[in-house]
Structure 1
Amino acid sequence: MNKIMSNLSLRNLLLLSIGISMVIIIIILSTYIFNSMGYELRNQEVEKLNAISKTVNNKLDDLLEEGEVAVKLVAKNTAVQAAFADRDRELLRSMLLDSYQDISEEMAQFQFHLPNSTSFLRLHNPSKYGDDLSSFRLTVNQANSEKELVSGIEEGRGGYGLRVVSPVEYRGDHLGTVEFGVSLGKGFLNEIKNDFPGDYYIYSLADKENVAWDQSKSEWIASTSDSDNYEIQDKDIEKIKSGEKVIKNTDNTNLLLIPFRDYKNEVSGFFKIAFDRQQISNTYNRLTRNTLIISLIGIILTLIITFLVAKRIFDPLERFEGMFASLALGNLNVSYPIKTVNCSEIMDCAEDSCPDFERDGVTCWFDVGSYAPEFGKEVHCPKIKTGEYEDCTECKVYQRVNKNEIEKLGAWFNKFADVLRNLLKDISSMSDNLAASSQELTATGEELSASAEEIGNSMQTVASGAEEQSAQVEETSATINELRDQIDSVNNSSAKMNQRAENVMDNIESGNKALKNTEVSISRVKNNTKTTATAINSLGESSKEIGEIVDLINGISEQTNLLALNAAIEAARAGEAGRGFSVVAEEIRGLAEQSSKATKDIAKLIKSIQKDVETAVKNMNENEVTVEESVEAINKTSSSFTAITTQAEDLESLIKNIRDEVEKMNKNSINVKKAVDQISEVSEMAAANAEEVAASSEEQEASTQTVVGASEDLVNMVEKLNKMVSQFTL
């Protein structure tokens, strides 16, 4: 599978992936819709069958209710009661026959019974009366015995019927019963069939021998059809006997089994109703067919839309494929057509210093926008410069040109081709310059070769050359002297740098000492803070003791005041003899009150002092924490100073090394001076070494030939480079 997928093109892979995905989605949706609609159709069928069942039961209830109303009216009629009491059959018939004939279509039976359940008058069959009904008309027996109205379904000689039997009394005497009955037979079934077409049957569940129909002809009591081909199972009968409605579905038939209860509220039979569901089956088949058609159309439309979308995506990509192929084959003028815009007009820009100002067909985001710095250009766009736009992607000019990913790719392709084109132009220009330089180098080499030959043939010029060399040596000597002066200057500068480094070291040492002094001072502050906190705590304890002493003094004052009061009382008792003592007692009491007041003031002051002491203790604790943090910070600073000292020492060592190297350079310059002097002496001896110079000139000629060969190789390489560049259309 992976091999097959890897061999597919992106277009086919996209079409295949989307196509398969949409087919799966459409199949899932179609299946869901199909099942939902099928479920809805089945629900409608069930609802219809439930409605029919409800209609049958409601019709039974309505008939019973109508019968009860009618029979009660007759039973309560005094004229009827009197005629029945007189056993005047003809009078009853003449009174009620016309009324019964008006309702005979709805009420199949209307009759009177005597208390022993003997028929007295049948208005539906007046000529027949006097027969004993007690053996099978249990509703009549119950109404006569209980003297209460009895209603419900009962099986009689004519089949199942809806019976309403009411006792009749006259002047407190029980006369018998009056009955209204509705036949529960084919007529009842036809009425329902008119509203809900189908085949209707009534079956009995009674175990006794059937008395209402000929079992040799049919198994049902009543039916709207001549045959019953709708089979039911024993388990369905069991459900019916328990009073449960049964619904069965086959391909072409819906079968509804509705149990009914007799007057004793016991299940005695059931309605069997069969409906042709061919129309539903046709609808279901039509739904299946339409779902398949719609699904197929959806799949086809999906494939068409997918193909169009893929074409919309991949056609431009194929166009890019062609452009890249042209680019690879050397055509650098290929470009993707993008929308031509004038950013100055669109943005109403007045930046006339901008290179793209009032120009058409610009790509301003590359030239003057947020991408410009990446291409070595300056940002001119005022929106970017002022920060109104974070980048050009927020600009409507960019958005108008780069409407989608393909347009963005096209713009970048054009920029790539433009950059490549400019790069190859620069290479071509450099190649031309290199070719010219190579040709000049070749010519120079040839000239050097000729010069070497001339040197070999003109040894006489060596002497003059030696003299010129001597002059050059003198110039070199002067240059070396200047170099020594510069080295001396560098030496002086390095000495000053060394001095400054030493000053820096001194400052660092001073800072380190100051930092250590600060650390000692902070430690003293820390110790003093602890001592002060201890003293303040001691002061707080002392203030508490003073408070206790004040309380003692206050107690003494109160006792003194009490004693003074007692003394005054005793002085008053003493009369004139105790007057002086009374004055003294009064003075003592005054002093006692003043002492008491003073002690109260002192107590207030002590409380204030204690409060201040608590605040001071709290602040001292906070100061102690702050001092601890300061000590920690100073320790960190001390560590930093240690690192700085180490680095400064390294720097000082480096400066000393530089100074040593400069001194070595100074010594070397002296040696160079001596060497130059020796060269001067050797130059004077050059004439004597003409043969050696000739040999050297021959070697120079050979080297020159090598240079000429290398220059020719370089020319060939340049020609090859030009040939390669010429493959591109710039």
Structure 2
Amino acid sequence: MVHKLKIGTRIGLGSTLLLLVALLVITPTVLHKIDEIVTEAERDALSRHYQTLTSQLESQGKVAETLAMLVSQIPEAQEAMAAGDRKQLERMFVSGFKILKRDYAADQFQFHTAPAWSMFRVHMPAKFGDDLSSFRHTVVQTNTEKRPVAGLEHGVAGLGIRGVVPMFKGEKHLGSVEFGMSFGQPFFDTFKKAYGVDVALRLKKSDGGFSTFGSTFGDSLFSAEQLADAFEGQAAMGRTALKGQPVAIYANAVVDYSGKPIGVVEIAMDRSYYATAMSEARNLTLLIGALALVLGAGFAW
């Protein structure tokens, strides 16, 4: 049937079909590339938020270590520690610690003897003499290796940011000094307010599941399998809706003072801007393709 058409008609029809095929191939390729660019932009933004959060945890650990190091160098504190003089330590530090707790997010302040006996709790003076060695591994490590240790660790009061340093009088090792910084729901609320993203920490349980330590958006947005992969260091990313808004989501591991993973941080970022940009780019690409087809067909005929 085609061979009966005039040569001009066949050329026009062929050109139109060729242009249509080209557009059918090029348009999805362009849209896919745009989606890749947007996805990479979202990944970079989420990764930066993750790095910011982990850096803040490390920074708080360094603050705790710095405070403990300062106290460990005070000669009067060394004398009191060597003599087991809790009353002197109380006179020196209890009133000042109240200000640190009220205004500077310090939560705990404690002296230990090796390997991990509580010699004096500045934040709780009436309680002392208990053995912490079964669960306060930062204290044991500090007194064993005689070097500072800082980071996240579980304790009696739950997960905390701690800095522990050895204490000496001359060459004699006396024990250790510890500061613990506040770490709980306010940390996540403050992070959301500062950076405009929702954030949560899911802690790994002994049965393999995860429990929520703190969150600004409730339950996890990832499957159990994705959380397990993120816990092993394989960052997960996706897209979903949160409170009716399109969000890009990211999950990656959080480690304790020793570098061992203890949970997974989830970050949810509003992607309305990216979704709008993607929609506009798609519509513009389709419009240009349609115009190209119409104009091409017009010239061909």
The TM-score normalised by the length of structure 1 is 0.36
Question: 1:36 aligns to what?
Answer: 33
Q: Does 1:247 align with 2:236?
A: yes
1:302-321 matches, within 5 Å, as 302-304=296-298, 306=299
CA contact (8 A) 2:90 2:125 kept: no
Per-residue CA deviations over 1:109-160 (Å, capped at 9, x if unaligned) read 222223463434434x344431525143222233234433222321123221
Question: 1:287 aligns to what?
Answer: 281
Per-residue CA deviations over 1:267-305 (Å, capped at 9, x if unaligned) read 22222333344543343333322221222223233344x
1:175-194 matches, within 5 Å, as 175-194=174-193
Q: Does 1:54 align with 2:54?
A: no
CA 1:127 to 1:65, structure 2 compared with 1: closer, same or farther past 3 Å?
A: closer
Sequence identity percentage: 23
CA contact (8 A) 1:120 1:129 kept: no
Per-residue CA deviations over 1:423-452 (Å, capped at 9, x if unaligned) read xxxxxxxxxxxxxxxxxxxxxxxxxxxxxx
CA 1:292 to 1:270, structure 2 compared with 1: closer, same or farther past 3 Å?
A: same
CA contact (8 A) 1:112 1:120 kept: yes
CA contact (8 A) 1:100 1:110 kept: no
Identify the match of residue 130 of structure 1 among 124, 128, 133.
128
Any unmatched runs of 5+ in structure 1? Answer: 210-214, 311-730
Q: Does 1:105 align with 2:99?
A: no
Any unmatched runs of 5+ in structure 2? Answer: 242-246
SS at match of 2:173: strand
Per-residue CA deviations over 1:47-86 (Å, capped at 9, x if unaligned) read 2222222222322222223333332222122232223334
SS at match of 2:294: helix
Q: CA deviation at 1:4?
A: 2.7
Per-residue CA deviations over 1:544-583 (Å, capped at 9, x if unaligned) read xxxxxxxxxxxxxxxxxxxxxxxxxxxxxxxxxxxxxxxx
CA contact (8 A) 1:159 1:185 kept: no
> By percentage of residues, which structure has more strand?
2
CA 1:258 to 1:84, structure 2 compared with 1: closer, same or farther past 3 Å?
A: same
CA 1:267 to 1:289, structure 2 compared with 1: closer, same or farther past 3 Å?
A: same
Identify the match of residue 225 of structure 2 among 234, 238, 250.
234
User: Larger deviation: 74-83 or 227-236?
Assistant: 227-236
Question: 1:173 aligns to what?
Answer: 172
SS at match of 2:262: strand
In structure 2, C-alpha distance between the alignment counterparts of 1:118 and 1:27, rounded to whole Å: 73
SS at match of 1:176: strand
The one-letter code matched in structure 2 to 1:275 is M
1:66-105 matches, within 5 Å, as 66-96=63-93, 97-98=95-96, 101-102=99-100, 104-105=103-104
SS at match of 1:85: helix
CA contact (8 A) 1:185 1:202 kept: no
Q: Does 1:203 align with 2:202?
A: yes
The one-letter code matched in structure 2 to 1:249 is G
The one-letter code matched in structure 1 to 2:5 is N
CA 1:245 to 1:110, structure 2 compared with 1: closer, same or farther past 3 Å?
A: farther
CA 1:40 to 1:195, structure 2 compared with 1: closer, same or farther past 3 Å?
A: farther
CA 1:76 to 1:126, structure 2 compared with 1: closer, same or farther past 3 Å?
A: same
Question: 1:296 aligns to what?
Answer: 290
CA 1:27 to 1:190, structure 2 compared with 1: closer, same or farther past 3 Å?
A: same
Per-residue CA deviations over 1:577-604 (Å, capped at 9, x if unaligned) read xxxxxxxxxxxxxxxxxxxxxxxxxxxx
Higher Rg: 1
CA 1:195 to 1:20, structure 2 compared with 1: closer, same or farther past 3 Å?
A: farther
In structure 2, C-alpha distance between the alignment counterparts of 1:99 and 1:241, rounded to whole Å: 36
Question: 2:259 aligns to what?
Answer: 265
Question: 2:244 aligns to what?
Answer: none
In structure 2, C-alpha distance between the alignment counterparts of 1:208 and 1:150, rounded to whole Å: 28
In structure 2, C-alpha distance between the alignment counterparts of 1:43 and 1:221, rounded to whole Å: 29
CA 1:7 to 1:265, structure 2 compared with 1: closer, same or farther past 3 Å?
A: closer
Q: CA deviation at 1:208?
A: 8.1
In structure 1, C-alpha distance between the alignment counterparts of 2:149 and 2:165, rounded to whole Å: 6
Per-residue CA deviations over 1:686-711 (Å, capped at 9, x if unaligned) read xxxxxxxxxxxxxxxxxxxxxxxxxx
1:194-593 matches, within 5 Å, as 194-207=193-206, 219-225=211-217, 227-234=218-225, 236-237=227-228, 239-242=229-232, 244-252=233-241, 253-304=247-298, 306=299
In structure 2, C-alpha distance between the alignment counterparts of 1:155 and 1:44, rounded to whole Å: 36
Per-residue CA deviations over 1:322-376 (Å, capped at 9, x if unaligned) read xxxxxxxxxxxxxxxxxxxxxxxxxxxxxxxxxxxxxxxxxxxxxxxxxxxxxxx
CA 1:31 to 1:277, structure 2 compared with 1: closer, same or farther past 3 Å?
A: same
Per-residue CA deviations over 1:304-333 (Å, capped at 9, x if unaligned) read 4x16xx6xxxxxxxxxxxxxxxxxxxxxxx
Matched length: 293
The one-letter code matched in structure 2 to 1:266 is K
SS at match of 1:222: strand
CA contact (8 A) 1:189 1:224 kept: yes
Q: Which has the higher contact order (CA 8 A, sep 6+)?
A: 2
Per-residue CA deviations over 1:459-482 (Å, capped at 9, x if unaligned) read xxxxxxxxxxxxxxxxxxxxxxxx
CA contact (8 A) 2:159 2:183 kept: yes
CA 1:53 to 1:191, structure 2 compared with 1: closer, same or farther past 3 Å?
A: same
The one-letter code matched in structure 1 to 2:130 is D
CA contact (8 A) 1:112 1:177 kept: yes
Alpha-carbon RMSD: 3.2
CA 1:195 to 1:79, structure 2 compared with 1: closer, same or farther past 3 Å?
A: same
